[in-house]
Amino acid sequence: MPITIEDTLQWLRQLAQACQENRDYLTQLDSTIGDADHGINMDRGFKVVVEKVHAQTESDIGSLLKLVGTTLVSTVGGASGPLYGTAFLRAGVALSGKRELDESDYLALLEAAVEGIQARGKARQGEKTMLDALVPALAAAKAAQAAQLNLAQIARRASEAAEEGMKATIPLVATKGRASYLGERSAGHQDPGATSSWLILKSLAEVCARSSNT
């Protein structure tokens, strides 16, 4: 079953809910190596996103995701605003005019988002950032599509790879962002950005799973 606009809205609501539930957890992760605002920023950003997307009736998924991007850029003051904002904006451009998403659209969404974050943050995998969850997720999604799995399965594989990637940030030494000022001392802590990236893909996988059961 393809993803509809209603499913996309459900994803955003569920993601906002996850950001609220994990607000303290993300902030606590961020307080050990960052500036202790990641949970607060994500919660605030996606709360406004949900208000905005309800107030507006976008006719296609691309426009909806662009609205999410501009909202995040203007409401989130930390690094996650420009980064996730750019990710959603680029994904929106890639899915311009789409009213439903199939397997290859999911890939296009994830690929555009990852490229957006790489371009904006000038970061690579292995630097203890969001990309350590997102790059493996994209690779897993590509492999799953090549194996001709369906949308729900592709999204689940991506979410699982993001979770593994997130856990794999624990021993890494940060070279980007505030954590990089700690140098070697940033090792031993899970990256908050990789954690929120996992939450984003996890909530999308849940929506894909539900849509395929109906």
- Work out which of 47, 52, 178, 210 binds other proteins, going by CB under 8 A: 178
Q: State in angstroms the smallest separation of the CB of 120 from other proteins.
A: 6
Q: Check binding of 83 to other proteins (CB under 8 A).
A: yes
Q: State in angstroms the smallest separation of the CB of 67 from other proteins.
A: 15
Q: State in angstroms the smallest separation of the CB of 199 from other proteins.
A: 20
Under a CB-based contact definition with an 8 Å cutoff, are residues 127 and 172 in contact? yes
CB closer to other proteins out of 13 and 120: 120
Q: Check binding of 52 to other proteins (CB under 8 A).
A: no
CA distance 53 to 88: 13
Q: Check binding of 165 to other proteins (CB under 8 A).
A: no
Q: Check binding of 79 to other proteins (CB under 8 A).
A: yes
Alpha helix stretches (DSSP H) within 34-150: 38-55, 61-75, 80-94, 103-121, 131-146
Distant-in-sequence, close-in-space partners of 156: CB < 8 Å, separation ≥ 6: 205, 208, 209
Tokens of 203: 């909530």
- Work out which of 92, 121, 165, 193 binds other proteins, going by CB under 8 A: 121
Q: State in angstroms the smallest separation of the CB of 149 from other proteins.
A: 35
Tokens of 102: 């199939």
Q: Check binding of 192 to other proteins (CB under 8 A).
A: no
CA distance 103 to 80: 27
Tokens of 151: 């949308």
- Work out which of 177, 186, 192, 201 binds other proteins, going by CB under 8 A: 177
A 10 A CB-CB count for 60 gives 17
- Work out which of 73, 93, 108, 173 binds other proteins, going by CB under 8 A: 73
CB closer to other proteins out of 33 and 141: 33
Q: Check binding of 120 to other proteins (CB under 8 A).
A: yes
CA distance 192 to 28: 9
Q: What is the dihedral of CA 72, 100, 116, 181, to 10 degrees?
A: 50
Q: State in angstroms the smallest separation of the CB of 143 from other proteins.
A: 31
CB closer to other proteins out of 12 and 89: 89
CA distance 122 to 144: 27
Residue 55 sits at the vertex; the CA angle it makes with 50 and 16, to the nearest 5 degrees, is: 5
Q: Which residues bind other proteins (CB under 8 A)?
A: 35, 37, 41, 73-74, 76-79, 81-83, 85-86, 120-121, 177-178
